[in-house]
Amino acid sequence: MHRFSSRTREDKLLWVLMVCVASLIKGAVGSEDLQLHKPPNIVILLADDLGIGDVGCYGNDTIRTPHIDRLASEGVRLTHHLAAAAMCTPSRAALLTARYPARYGLVADPILPVPVLIQITSPGGIPGDEVTIATALAAANYTTAIVGKWHLGMNCSLWGRGCLGPLRHGFHSFFGLPMSLFQEYADPYPFWTLPADTAVIQVSPWIQNHANSVLMRDGEVVEAPIKLEGFSQRLVAESRRFITEHANSERPFFLFHSFGHVHTPMFTAPHMAGRSKHGRYGDNVEEMDEGVGSLLDTLTQLGLENNTVVYFASDHGGHLEVTDDDGQRIGGHNGRFKGGKRQGGSEGGIRVPGIFRWSGHLPCGVTQHSPTSMMDVLPTLLSLAGLPPLHTLVPRASHKELDGTDISEILQGGAAESQEGRVFLHHCDSAIHAVRLVTGDHVYKMHLARPKWFPGSTQCGWGRGVICSCSGYGLVTDLSSRPELYDLNKDPYEDKQPISPESEEYKVVVKQMREYLEQWKARVKYPPSQLSTLANIIWRPWYQPVCHNC
Ligand SMILES: *[C@@H]1O[C@H](CO)[C@@H](O)[C@H](O)[C@H]1NC(C)=O
Ligand SMILES: *[C@@H]1O[C@H](CO)[C@@H](O)[C@H](O)[C@H]1NC(C)=O
């Protein structure tokens, strides 16, 4: 299944072996770092909307992602790595807090299903009492920075501009997008154009273009609207500067490089345009990969490979439905997994690439098949870095139950026994659409609901702005009275007939999952949605940050 372009499998193995031996030798030489007891630097590289099928080392043999592939060949590649949501805002919140975002209302409800923050002036975000990876690492004396996309809230009140922004969540500096890239940033719109989008409630494209297309440095707007061409390179240059500046400092650094790519709109620097075999989407993937390479090279040049943990992932699966005005597909590809973005219970929406590299410390060129979650990243990074657990580092968080667990044992190549009995809940907005249970040799997945797919496909139509729904009459198939059950170890792509509801296996497993759900619902009360509010939808100019020097 996992093919590698331009090299035979034997060549590939030899190559991995050479790289690994080299890094072990370097690791031994570099053990001075350890004697100083300085915890390792940490770099998170997060792509936006990138499908697991868009990456060379996950089986794509026509797209070129040599730098992500290199990261995998020098580290641990996870094949069963799961996002906690199939939309940006909730998935990113889960990554940073190690908790289901439904616990703090950062998911839509069925009454007004707006799946993400859609206005820079929206008052929602990660609540101030939640603790992020950055807050934890800042408490451990790291210098912390985010470069790129935030999309996790800025404002909470009129006098509290920026009070939910990255600087309030543990990041010492911020350069990038308070929101996200949106298709509208690329096109000129007259004020009265109606959104082309029918599936999601959306703001006026004019407002989108004029209000949300801002670039910030810390609390200040430094560019509006954003100049798209070369934007990826500008973000990468900023991160390179940060790494270089902090390479030899006493404190370790934490960099969260959150790519704008490969979300729409599809733009690239001139040297990347038309290079890929997959149109403008492919060009975007390859430009993002070039950015990964540039950041990895910086670490190598500064001799930081052996004291820097690097984690790469995508926030969720590719957007299957989206096309440009000419009907060309401009969304990602999720391999053989069914479904995509905004399908929280479908594998294609949440199965993402996930790679950890820490040369000389973690195994090299290794693949792990155990189910893991992006919510595991926070506890795992603390553990790898030899830091105290979150509740010790940040005592005010001691009542916050984490949904992620420390998977460093799995990364170290240990047995996956720690995952025995683990349950993953798969939310689509605030609803639970699927449940996954790890037990013995099985990874069971139970589907309770699923978006209505276009016949013969695993997507909800196609067109500009088209996306699935998590709720709504006629938009979702309710399976809860007779859930579909699969064993992903036997049927990874859910291609075969689901396990028969008449079988003993079905009865036992479904009963166990239903009991788990009942207990969960009794114990964990979800607060009201922060996204399903008029304040999220209506632009409120008095919250709009403006550029004073543009
Ligand atoms: C590789 O990715 C491109 C772009 O998403 C996609 O069109 C193509 O089908 C993928 N190829 C394979 C073998 O997965
Ligand atoms: C951070 O630095 C302070 C002061 O230098 C020190 O007391 C504290 O133990 C450090 N924290 C960690 C987790 O290393």
- Average pLDDT estimate for 433-445: 97
Find out whether the beta carbon of 141 lies less than 6 Å from any atom of ligand 2: yes
* 76 band by pLDDT with thresholds 50, 70 and 90: very high
Ligand nearest to the CA of 64: 1
Q: CB of 213 within 8 A of CB of 544? A: no
- Check residue 488 and give its pLDDT: 98
pLDDT exceeds 60 at position 29: no
User: What number does the ligand 2 atom closest to the CA of 388 have?
Assistant: 13
Q: Which of 44-48, 221-225, 288-292, 430-434 has the lowest mean pLDDT?
A: 221-225
**Other C-beta atoms lying within 10 Å of the C-beta of residue 36:** 8
| Cα–Cα distances in angstroms (integers) from residue 66 to residues 157, 373, 445, in the given order | 45, 25, 33
Ramachandran region, residue 343 (left: φ > 0; alpha: ψ -120 to 50; beta: rest): beta
DSSP secondary structure string, 106-149? -S--TTS---S---TT---SS-TTS--HHHHHHHTT-EEEEEEE
Distance from the alpha carbon of residue 392 to the mean position of ligand 2, in angstroms: 12
- Check residue 71 and give its pLDDT: 98
Percentage of residues of the chain with pLDDT beyond 90? 80
Q: Give SS3 for 356.
A: strand
- Check residue 198 and give its pLDDT: 39
Percentage of residues of the chain with pLDDT beyond 70? 89
* 5 band by pLDDT with thresholds 50, 70 and 90: very low
Give the Cα separation of 283 and 37 in Å (integer): 42
- Average pLDDT estimate for 327-333: 93
- Check residue 64 and give its pLDDT: 97
Average pLDDT, the chain: 91
DSSP secondary structure string, 217-240? ETTEEEESS---TTHHHHHHHHHH
Q: Work out the angle at residue 378's Cα, subtended by the Cα atoms of residues 182 and 34, and round it to the nearest 5 degrees.
A: 120
* 23 band by pLDDT with thresholds 50, 70 and 90: low
- Check residue 33 and give its pLDDT: 47
End-to-end CA distance of the chain: 51
DSSP β-bridge partners for residue 423: 437
Distance from the alpha carbon of residue 43 to the mean position of ligand 1, in angstroms: 27
Distance from the alpha carbon of residue 132 to the mean position of ligand 1, in angstroms: 34
User: What number does the ligand 2 atom closest to the CA of 393 have?
Assistant: 13
No. of H helices and E strands in the chain? 14, 17
The torsion angles phi and psi of 373, rounded to 5 degrees, stand at -125, 155
pLDDT exceeds 80 at position 152: yes
User: pLDDT digits over 476-508, tens only?
Assistant: 999 999 999 999 999 999 999 999 999 999 999
Q: CB of 99 within 8 A of CB of 379? A: no
**Other C-beta atoms lying within 10 Å of the C-beta of residue 457:** 13
Q: How many CA atoms lie within 13 A of 104 on its CB side?
A: 23
* 24 band by pLDDT with thresholds 50, 70 and 90: low
Q: Is 151 a catalytic residue?
A: yes
- Check residue 542 and give its pLDDT: 85
- Check residue 464 and give its pLDDT: 85
- Average pLDDT estimate for 315-338: 95
Find out whether the beta carbon of 60 lies less than 6 Å from any atom of ligand 1: yes
* 25 band by pLDDT with thresholds 50, 70 and 90: low
- Check residue 203 and give its pLDDT: 61
- Average pLDDT estimate for 114-136: 94
| CB under 8 A, 24+ apart: contacts of 477-484 | 477/449, 477/450, 477/451, 477/452, 478/448, 478/449, 479/447, 479/448, 479/449, 479/450, 480/448, 480/449, 483/446, 483/447, 483/448, 483/510, 484/446, 484/447
pLDDT exceeds 50 at position 7: no
The DSSP element (H or E) to which 35 belongs, if any, is helix 32-35
Find out whether the beta carbon of 83 lies less than 6 Å from any atom of ligand 2: no
pLDDT exceeds 60 at position 148: yes
User: What number does the ligand 2 atom closest to the CA of 39 have?
Assistant: 14
pLDDT exceeds 60 at position 80: yes
Q: Which of 12-26, 120-134, 325-339 has the lowest mean pLDDT?
A: 12-26
- Check residue 190 and give its pLDDT: 60
pLDDT exceeds 70 at position 31: no
Give the Cα separation of 256 and 275 in Å (integer): 28
User: pLDDT digits over 32-43, tens only?
Assistant: 444 457 999 999
Among 2, 49, 62, 264, which residue has the most ligand 1 atoms within 8 Å of its CB, making it the best to mutate? 62
Give the Cα separation of 182 and 20 in Å (integer): 40
* 3 band by pLDDT with thresholds 50, 70 and 90: very low
State the maximum Cα–Cα separation within the chain, in Å, rounded to a whole number: 69
Compute, in degrees rounded to 10, the torsion defined by CA atoms 235, 236, 239, 245.
-120
- Average pLDDT estimate for 317-344: 95
Among 54, 57, 319, 336, which residue has the most ligand 1 atoms within 8 Å of its CB, making it the best to mutate? 54
- Check residue 108 and give its pLDDT: 97
* 183 band by pLDDT with thresholds 50, 70 and 90: confident
pLDDT exceeds 60 at position 474: yes
Give the Cα separation of 227 and 234 in Å (integer): 10
Q: Whose CA is nearest to atom 9 of ligand 1?
A: 333
Q: Whose CA is nearest to atom 6 of ligand 1?
A: 333
Find out whether the beta carbon of 447 lies less than 6 Å from any atom of ligand 1: no
- Check residue 34 and give its pLDDT: 47
Work out the burial of residue 535: count CB atoms within 10 Å of its CB; fewer than 13 is exposed, 13-18 middle, 19 or more buried. middle
The catalytic residue among 67, 81, 151, 426 is: 151
Q: Whose CA is nearest to atom 11 of ligand 2?
A: 140
pTM summary value: 0.94
